[in-house]
Structure 1
Amino acid sequence: MLSPDASWVSAAKWNALTPEQQDKFAPVCPEFVLELKSATDSLKTLQAKMLDWLRNGAQLAWLLVPETETAYLYRPGQPETVQGFDNELSGETVLPGFRLRLAELR
């Protein structure tokens, strides 16, 4: 079972769960996931985990690597894209209006 550092699940997907499922570790794949690499994490392992999220239904996934100031962005059916921390990330159509200024993570 996977667990991201941060995630977002739509109300429709959340409300389709039973109250018992909502009260525990929900058996649902979030539409959006964010992983923040720590010093002890393997980059390759986290990159593979991001692909697992996509295979399970995530629509947008961000892997942030503070030590190299790199953001890896994942979307279904598209190649991984890479941005530096001088950029601002957008929640796109998955989380309209959500923005993250990566420079604030420095």
Structure 2
Amino acid sequence: MLPSFGSSLNNEDVPSEPPPDFISGEVSTRFCTHLFAWVEPRQLGYVLSSHVGYQLPNGEILQPHCSFVSRQRLKRMPRTYPEVPPDLIMEIKSAFDRLLSMQKKVQSFLKWGTRIGILIDPDQHTVSVYRPDGAVTILEEGETLMLPELLPDWELPVSELWTPSLN
């Protein structure tokens, strides 16, 4: 039996929604690169791109834009989809996305065991941090993203996510 795919893929392995726009792709790269540069030397786990799906307990496969799974939770690298939820997922609202559908995707991961969900909105220059208890923290320019319960000492100034103007 083939797994059912969430909003990111249909049964023909063709994207059911358009790929992210240019700015969203740039923001995603900045976030993932910053996270990878901190996690990798400390050998804390795996930072993965949007090309990795996670199999949820209900059989659905979801793909976050970026994710982190600690080595403690993922003892062996699977050849197929990890059956443990990532510790951290990051989603970006592209020009084609509705904010509500992105919030639901983040909450779906939290429901299945993800510890922290991040939703970045390039239009508003905000970073929303979701936790399983329902708490949402919204960070803006001048603030710093910190996740002490998951990645102690890691920090990302929100302003570093936005590409400087080329004008």
TM-score (normalised: structure 1): 0.86
Change (3 A) 1:79 1:91: closer
Match of 2:72 in 1: 12
Q: Which residue of 10, 28, 39 maps to 2:84? A: 28
Name the one with the larger helix percent: 1
Give the letter aligned to residue 80 of structure 2: K
Q: CA deviation at 1:38?
A: 1.1
Is structure 2 residue 112 aligned with structure 1 residue 56?
yes
Quick one: percent identity of the two aligned structures? 29
Within the candidate set 67, 70, 80, 2:123 is matched to 67
Structure 1: distance between partners of 2:109 and 2:126: 19
- Secondary structure (helix, strand or coil) at the match of 1:24 reads coil
| Bigger radius of gyration | 2
Query: What is aligned with 1:101?
Result: 157
SS of alignment partner, residue 129 of structure 2: strand
Equivalent AA in structure 2 for residue 36 of structure 1: I
Larger RCO (CA under 8 A, 6+ residues apart): 1
How much does 1:102 deviate? Answer: 1.0
**Counterparts of 2:82 and 2:130, CA distance in 1:** 23
Q: Which runs of 5+ in 1 are unaligned?
A: none
Q: Which residue of 2 aligns with 1:41?
A: 97
CA RMSD of superposed structures (Å): 1.4
CA distance in 2, matches of 1:85, 1:30: 27
Q: Offset of 1:90 from its aligned partner?
A: 0.7
Most deviating of 47-56 and 80-89: 80-89
**CA offset at residue 65 of structure 1?**
0.5
Note the C-alpha offset of 1:28: 2.1
Structure 1 runs, 4 residues or longer, greater than 6 Å off: none
The equivalent of 2:49 in structure 1 is none
Whole-Å separation in 2 of the counterparts to 1:6 and 1:95: 15
Shift of 1:52: 0.7
